[in-house]
C-alpha cells in the first residue's frame, strides 16, 4: 500500500479556500485508511527486519508520526514505533485523551484517569495516581477503593436489593441496620438499644464445649457463672421491676425479693446494718471506738449511735459519720445500738455489748469467738481469757441466743458450739477471783438461713477444697473446722461434689460431707 500527499499552500492570513479545505480533508481520510491498515497488518510477528530498520533509521522510537491541528487549537497526533503505537487528542482547554498500545500492554487515558491492561492484570487509576480498581492476574484477587453503588444484580450467591444484600432469607444485610444470619437477627431498638433476637433456641459454644443455652422458657449454664458486680435474677419481663434474687459479689450472700412474681417487693439486697467495737471488755473509764457499716439498700447512708448501761434507756452518742468514740465511765454492761438509714428512707439496726470492769478489782474478762458469721449451720469456738485477777479465778459461762439464755456452758475457758438455727448468739461469762466478781460478753455470732439452696457439712477438720473432681487437682482452700456448712453447687462427678465456701469454688469428696 502506498500513501502520498502534499499539503496546499496556506495564505499568511490563515484563510483557506474551499478547494484547499477539501484537499486537506481528503489527505486526512487517506491517513486514516493508512493507519487502519497499519494497525491491522503490522505487528511484532510480521514486521520484517528491513522495515524495522527503516523505521528506526527514520526517527527511532517515533519513526512514523502524524500531527493535525485545527483553527480552534485542537490537536490530534499518531505516533508509531517498533515498540508502541500512541494516539492522542488534546483540546485548546487542556483536556487530553490518549490510547497507547505497547509491548508492555494497553493504556487508555482521559485527563490522567487511566485504564491499564498488562500481563499483571487490569487496573483503573485516577488522576491523583490512586489505584481504585485492581485485578491481580497472578492471584485473581480484586481490590476496590471507595464505594460500590448497585441496586440490583448479584455478588456470588448474594442478591443486591434496593437497600440490602441478601441470600434468600438466611443472610440479610440491610442499609437500615438490620442484620439476619439464619434465625438470628441483630437490630437497634430506639428504646432498648442493640438487640440480638432468635426465633429458636440459641447456644454459646467455646471450642467444642457448650457454655450456655438459651431456650424460650429456660437458660442452661454448663460452666460456673461469674459476675464481677453481683448477679441479678429476674423472671419478670418488665424491666422496670426489681429482681427476684440478688447475689452479693463480696459476701456471696443470696437475697430474695418478697414478691414471687419478679419485682414489686423489697428491692434486694435489703439494707443490713453492722456494728463493731475496738474492744468488748475494758476497765471503767476507758474508751472504745464504735464502727458502723451497711450493705444493701441504696447509698448514701446515715449512721445513728446510742448507748445503754445495764438495761437502762438508750442515749444518743453525738457525732457524724460511721464511727464514734465512747468512754465507759462506770463499771457495768453497755449495750450499743446502731441505726442505719439509706437514701430511700429504709432503716436497719444492730446491737453489741461491751463490758466495763470495776477499776478497783482490775480484772478483765474477754470472750473471743473464732468466727462471727455462719450460713445455715456450723461450729464456732469461744475462748475465755482473764487478766488482772487477784489469786485463782473461778469461771462460769452461758450461751445466749437473741438476748435470752440458750444453754449452760459451765466452767472452763474453751467452748465449741454447733449452731444450726438462725439467730444472734453470744457467750456471757462470770469470773470470780479473791476480791471481785467480773462479767464479760463475747462478740455476736450471727447465723443466717438461706432457703432453696442445698448445704452439706464437713465430717472432719482440715478438709481440702480442690480445683477439680479428683485428688490430682490443686488445693484452693482448706476448711479448718468440722461441721462447717458448705453450699452444694450441683451433682457429683465420680463422688466429688462441686461446693462453694467462704468465697472459694471447688470440689470435695463425698466421704468428707454429711447431708
Q: What is the pLDDT of residues 363-397, one digit of tens each?
A: 889 999 998 888 777 789 999 999 888 778 999 99
Angle at alpha carbon of residue 292, lines to 404 and 332, rounded to 5°? 45
Q: 231-238, long-range: CB within 8 Å, 24+ apart, which pairs?
A: 234/262, 234/263, 235/262, 236/261, 236/262, 236/263, 238/262, 238/263
* CB neighbourhood size of 490 (10 A): 10
Spell out the residues 6+ positions from residue 86 whose beta carbon is closer than 8 angstroms to its own. 77, 78, 79, 80, 98, 99, 100, 101
Rg (CA), the chain: 48
How many angstroms separate the CA atoms of 285 and 292, rounded?
Answer: 22
3-class DSSP string for 426-462: EEEEEEECCCCEEEEECCCEEEECCCCCCEEEECCCC
Distances 116 to 38, 83, 404, 478 between C-alpha atoms, Å: 23, 17, 99, 76
Determine the pLDDT at residue 449.
Answer: 72
Domain with CATH 2.30.30.40 in the chain: 455-514
Which residues of the chain are modeled with pLDDT < 50?
Answer: 59-62, 229, 236-241, 257-268
Q: What is the DSSP letter of 345?
A: S
How many angstroms separate the CA atoms of 79 and 66, rounded?
Answer: 7
With residues binned 3-state (H G I as helix, E B as strand, rest as coil), the percentages for the chain, rounded to 5, are 10, 50, 45
Q: Which helix (H) or strand (E) holds 55?
A: helix 49-57
428, burial (CB in 10 Å: exposed 0-12, middle 13-18, buried 19+): buried
Determine the pLDDT at residue 348.
Answer: 93
How many angstroms separate the CA atoms of 28 and 41, rounded?
Answer: 20
Cis upstream peptide for 412 (omega within 30°): no
Whole-angstrom distance between the N-terminal and C-terminal Cα of the chain?
A: 113
Determine the pLDDT at residue 62.
Answer: 44
Q: Let me know: does 380 contact 374? Beta carbons within 8 Å.
A: yes
Determine the pLDDT at residue 272.
Answer: 92
How many angstroms separate the CA atoms of 191 and 511, rounded?
Answer: 54
Determine the pLDDT at residue 140.
Answer: 73
Determine the pLDDT at residue 244.
Answer: 54
Cis upstream peptide for 269 (omega within 30°): yes
* pLDDT tens track for 428-458: 999 988 778 889 999 999 888 766 678 888 9
Q: Let me know: does 300 contact 321? Beta carbons within 8 Å.
A: no
Domain with CATH 2.60.40.10 in the chain: 272-448
How many angstroms separate the CA atoms of 280 and 384, rounded?
Answer: 12
Kindly list the strands in the beta sheet with 171-174, ordered across the sheet, starting from the edge strand earlier in the chain: 154-155, 158-160, 164-167, 171-174, 179-181, 184-189, 193-198
Is the whole model's pTM more than 0.75, yes or no? no
- Domain range 455-514, its CATH number among 3.30.70.360, 2.130.10.10, 1.10.10.10, 2.30.30.40: 2.30.30.40
Q: Please tell me the class of the 272-448 domain.
A: mainly beta
Amino acid at each position: 500500500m502506498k500513501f502520498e500527499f502534499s499539503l496546499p499552500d496556506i495564505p499568511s492570513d490563515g484563510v483557506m479556500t474551499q478547494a484547499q479545505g477539501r484537499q486537506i480533508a481528503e489527505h486526512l481520510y487517506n491517513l486514516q485508511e493508512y493507519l487502519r491498515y497499519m494497525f491491522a497488518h503490522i505487528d511484532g510477528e510480521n514486521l520484517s527486519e528491513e522495515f524495522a530498520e527503516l523505521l528506526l533509521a527514520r526517527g527511532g522510537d517515533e519513526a512514523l508520526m502524524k500531527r493535525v491541528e485545527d483553527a480552534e487549537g485542537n490537536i490530534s497526533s499518531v505516533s508509531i514505533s517498533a515498540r508502541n503505537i500512541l494516539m492522542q487528542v488534546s483540546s485548546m482547554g487542556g483536556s487530553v485523551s490518549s490510547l497507547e498500545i505497547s509491548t508492555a500492554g494497553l493504556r487508555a487515558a482521559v485527563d490522567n484517569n487511566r485504564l491499564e491492561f498488562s500481563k499483571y492484570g487490569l487496573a483503573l487509576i485516577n488522576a491523583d495516581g490512586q489505584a481504585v480498581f485492581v485485578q491481580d492476574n497472578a492471584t485473581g484477587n480484586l481490590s476496590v477503593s471507595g464505594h460500590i453503588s448497585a441496586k440490583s444484580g448479584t455478588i456470588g450467591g448474594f442478591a443486591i436489593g434496593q437497600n440490602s444484600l441478601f441470600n434468600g432469607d438466611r443472610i440479610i444485610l440491610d442499609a437500615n441496620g438490620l442484620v439476619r444470619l439464619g434465625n438470628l437477627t441483630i437490630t437497634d431498638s430506639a428504646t432498648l438499644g442493640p438487640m440480638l433476637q432468635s426465633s429458636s433456641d440459641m447456644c454459646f459454644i467455646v471450642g467444642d464445649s457448650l457454655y450456655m443455652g438459651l431456650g424460650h422458657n429456660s437458660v442452661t449454664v454448663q460452666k460456673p457463672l461469674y459476675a464481677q458486680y453481683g448477679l441479678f435474677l429476674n423472671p419478670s419481663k418488665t424491666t422496670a421491676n426489681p429482681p427476684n434474687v440478688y447475689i452479693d459479689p463480696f459476701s456471696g450472700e443470696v437475697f430474695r425479693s418478697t414478691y414471687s412474681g419478679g419485682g414489686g417487693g423489697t428491692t434486694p439486697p435489703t439494707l443490713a446494718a453492722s456494728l463493731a467495737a475496738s474492744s468488748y471488755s475494758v476497765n471503767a473509764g476507758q474508751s472504745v471506738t464504735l464502727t458502723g457499716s451497711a450493705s444493701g439498700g441504696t447509698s448514701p447512708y446515715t449512721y445513728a449511735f446510742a448507748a445503754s448501761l445495764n438495761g437502762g434507756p438508750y442515749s444518743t452518742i453525738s457525732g457524724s459519720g460511721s464511727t464514734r468514740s465512747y468512754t465507759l465511765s462506770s463499771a457495768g454492761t453497755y449495750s450499743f445500738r446502731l441505726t442505719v438509714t439509706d437514701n430511700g428512707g429504709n432503716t436497719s439496726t444492730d446491737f453489741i455489748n461491751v463490758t466495763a470492769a470495776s477499776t478497783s478489782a482490775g480484772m478483765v474478762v474477754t470472750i473471743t469467738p473464732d468466727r462471727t458469721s455462719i450460713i445455715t449451720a456450723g461450729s464456732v469456738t469461744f475462748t475465755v481469757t482473764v487478766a488482772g485477777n487477784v489469786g485463782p479465778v473461778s469461771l462460769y459461762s452461758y450461751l445466749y441466743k437473741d438476748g435470752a439464755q440458750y444453754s449452760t456452758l459451765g466452767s472452763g475457758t474453751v467452748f465449741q458450739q454447733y449452731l444450726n438455727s438462725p439467730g444472734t448468739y453470744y457467750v456471757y461469762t462470770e469470773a470470780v477471783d479473791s476480791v471481785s466478781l467480773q462479767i464479760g460478753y463475747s462478740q455476736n455470732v450471727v447465723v443466717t438461713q438461706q432457703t432453696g439452696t442445698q448445704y452439706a457439712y464437713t465430717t472432719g477438720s482440715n478438709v481440702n477444697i480442690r480445683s477439680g473432681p479428683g485428688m490430682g487437682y490443686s488445693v484452693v482452700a482448706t476448711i479448718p473446722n468440722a461441721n462447717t456448712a458448705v453450699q452444694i453447687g450441683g451433682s457429683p462427678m465420680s463422688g466429688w461434689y462441686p461446693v462453694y465456701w467462704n468465697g472459694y469454688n471447688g470440689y470435695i469428696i463425698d466421704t468428707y460431707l454429711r447431708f
